[in-house]
Structure 1
Amino acid sequence: MRFNDLLRTVLANIGDGTVATVTRWRQCIDLLAQYDVSGARAANALAAEDRDAILTQLESMRPQVSVEQRVASIVELGSRLRSAGLVRLLGQDHPTLVAAMMATVTLSDADWVGIIPDLGPLARSVLRRRADLGPGAVAALQRFGTVDLALTTLVPREMAQEAAAAPPVQAANDSEQAAEPSQIGRIVAQIERFNETRQHRREEEPAPEAVPPPPLARKERVRANRGALIRRFTFETDAAGVIRAVAGAPRAAVAGLSIGTPASDGRHGADGRALGAFRHRAAFQDARFTIAGGLLAGEWRLSATPRFDPATGRFLDYVGEARRELPHEALVKVSGSASPGWAGLSAASTRQLIHELRTPLNAIQGYAEMIEAQLVGPVSSDYRAMAGQILADARTLLATFDDLDLASRIERGDHRAVSEPVDLPALTHAIVAGFGQGGPVRVVVAAGADLPAIASDPAQVERMLAHLIRAGCAALGEGEQLAVTLLPGAAPDTVEVAVRRPTALVALPDAALFEHEGGIDGQLRDAPQLGLAFTLKLIRGIASHLGGHFEITPHSFRLILPIHAAAREEQGRGH
């Protein structure tokens, strides 16, 4: 019903003048891009009668929409152009539009097989240069090779005109003159005279000046650069998070994208910050949003606020602003061979940055503690609650800074860890008890009997186990539990901590778990602050620094840690 309402609104918006016609043209194009997707079997896909109604409307409006505007409406769709009906309608349009459409449109192999016979030679020529067509489409193009690639005549028209005006060829002797000259001989003589005449003209004519591109080509080049000039735009979504209204940018380039879809594999979507806020119907600021193709392709930052019905409190939509990502906000990509430090910075730079961030945060935390404890005078409960939230956020950020600092120290090799006996089962149960506060316990710990104490730094072991269990909890599905098993290690004098991989992480290859841009964080319920990849790398670094190691098996994460010397001696006496 929602689509039928949209369709009726667009078709009923008759309007007068060129502006109204162009607006209605773009609305129809956008409807086809969203709901007429080749090969899709979505529940909201277009019915045949609705698609025919839109195509009929476009056909009636085509004479009133200029070539430049028609081309722009297709170019701005980018990779969202997947409508077989639209390709069939515009397949014989202006050459510029046809070339742009055939270079980017994506259809199923079955749709290509049905459409290619109705296309013109130009469209088929563009398709022949694409390497992503299916076998059916390639076979259909090959059937038109004899037509599209045939020569219309053996002699060019200019050559034929000059040859007709030239005097006849004189025979070399009487016998040849008496014989009727063959057709091949006449053609060869005409070709020779044509080549001689053309070469003579080229030598006499001055070098031609550079011809400026036609107006349409210049406009296309300007339009291609226009997307890079658009730095920000405002938008509104529907209740499902799908962008419906846009101001400051072409609507067709962004309408239909969702702020509630995670960005993965180079596709459209938002990062974990926007996804988490959308699930809780909360405001968010400067969340990363990726547009994979089209006029506005690239990385954007979104800030949006939810709107609710004043009468019922029902969530309505989001309204916000998007801006281009600034250079310092871009993700740092580091080659595998280089080792410049965490997040692309050197270890020294990372430590200096952490110091500069921690200093003002400590001041904010101190003032929040004074307000919460009412050291500066009586404070209302609302302000104390706000101060408590600020304190919680500050502690989270300080813990994040500590993780970065520890990773930097480990990489630099200047971290000194103490070695003390650590009761691993007691420490694990204490960590799990902290996670279970305020909600159901979703972590099940099974510890072997008489496990020996390990020799390690208690603070770092606690940090390592907390990160591992927290990362596992973030990936748990509905009703799923995280199994943590403590048992003697397979290697002598070791203890093993095995955390079963949640279902969401089982199918991922090991390399994807350590990839910062793999998109897994957007799919987690409560992703770690610095991402799953950083967390696993930190765990691996701490384990190695403490004399153990961290490994990933198809079904579990495993920490192997050495036991304490006293426990080793006791085991030796027992044997």
Structure 2
Amino acid sequence: MQFDDRLATVLRSRADSDAVLRTKYRQLLDLLGTSKEEGDSELRAQAYARLNELAEALPQEEQARILREPGLRLRNPALVAFLARGEAKPGASAMATARLTDEEWLELIPKLPVTARGFLRHRRDLSPAIKALLARLGVGDLVLPEPEGDAAARSLRQSSGWQSASPPISTPISTPASTPISAPASPPARTSPAPSASKLTNPLTSEEAGIGALLKRIEAFRETRRSQPNDPRLPMGEDQHVQPLQTIEFSCDTDGMAVWADENIAPMIVGMQLTSSRTSTLITMDLDTKAAFAARQPVYAARITVNAAPEISGQWHLDAAPLFDPATGSFIGYRGCLRHAVEIVAAEEESEADAMRQVLHELRTPVNAIQGFAEIIQQQLFGQVPHQYRAHAASIGVDSATLLAGFDEVDRLVQLEADTMELEPGTADLRAAVSETVQRLQAVLRPRHAGFSLNVSGGPFVTALSRSEALALCWRLLATAAGALAPGEEVDLVLTSDGSEIQLELAAPRSLTDGGMADPAESGRQRAVNAGMFGPAFAFRLAQAEAKSAGGYLNCKTNRVTLVVPALTVHDGEPSAGKGRIGE
């Protein structure tokens, strides 16, 4: 007997990145879309709730792209109805890619929203029965609501037997000038005998009421147009956006005072000592620039600061050339230009963490595709497959899962070292986490007559981490050490607490102290248990980053590994101050 626990496995997995969110959304769609509405109803309710949470976290465009992937299978009417009631873009994609039988469509279509039925009408692979049902429902879906006045007038006309093709007049009607108007020579078309004069009043009254309402709407429209001013609005009391100045041309006299400038700038510039060597409250420049002006030398790209009108205040670059009288050769002033100083902002370089995460994203995409096709072959979703190929596909699926787990560990390390991720907060008993991890490892180490000797002293051992984070940290350390234990080797494991700090001290196995961390690939093949695919050095580095994020540290010496995390105080529920953070 086989038990399908794939849905429970997906629900238990963590989603700590955008890529994982997309993967979980794709997995839930695939699992819910290929299964029938039977089995564990509580588990399915949790799956739909998680799918709704993922839909809120992912953009509509991303959901629609996933729903249109070729390998996705939407064969569950309940899931199709769930997606149709959601946002527009995912709903349209679900209607386009759903693969239901005619009986399922005929039962589901009346329950769909109007917009979903509109999306479904664009499909060309529907049977005549489904198209006929959509056409019948479309009579109500595609009709605009009729105004109340027109509906009432039409009902009155139909009740009196008059047609709209001819005027409802058969008796003389007096005009305001009391001039009689003869009846038409030919009687109006009727579908029933001519009504009496008393019955003719209802159609006239109804049409007059409809015309009166129309006249009122026209008059209201005219009043609205008359109330709107036709003259352009003057920008009084409104802030105006002024284009900042880029260049200002000027001329100065022998004293360095500006005597000419651009026409629109002259009132703000003329009179300022732009090229004077004397100190000014409006112009600030360095000593080299003042010395050049005193020696009547040309100045290029000198930085000056103007403190005057808001339009010209700020940092400027000054270019000025001395002027001399052609006849006498005497100095007559400067002519120059002010250029607005543009701050050159260096382009933000992509950090190493961002580059690594981009590489991981590029690696995950093909591995996810390989894993998906391997599962299709192994589960024979598209037809019978020889057992030999199924075995190869299962092996490929295991290798793909191992690679994805390794990518997740690298991504976790990158985020922790870049301070873009924090461990999940909570309360966990570190003594219970260590004891549980040791018991799990003893089952593997006992046949080799190896193990840990755990000694506990002090207390309490509660830390400000969630239970899952505490178990993951303990497993990373102890599983790495357990994989390095030689047959018959037993190492000491000491757990102590003084109320403010919790310390876990581990005697390093001999294979690690002898340089066993140098070749992670070789050591990983020889070990019965390990904490990851990248070897002990990477595992300890990741544990060090996790300990730092928790407010503690991990110290790896030659023959001893020490983990220190702050204990959670009993009184206020806050973690005690870290006394040994890395870098302090």
* TM-score for both structures, normalised by structure 1: 0.33
Report 1 or 2 for greater relative contact order, CA contacts < 8 Å, sequence distance ≥ 6.
1
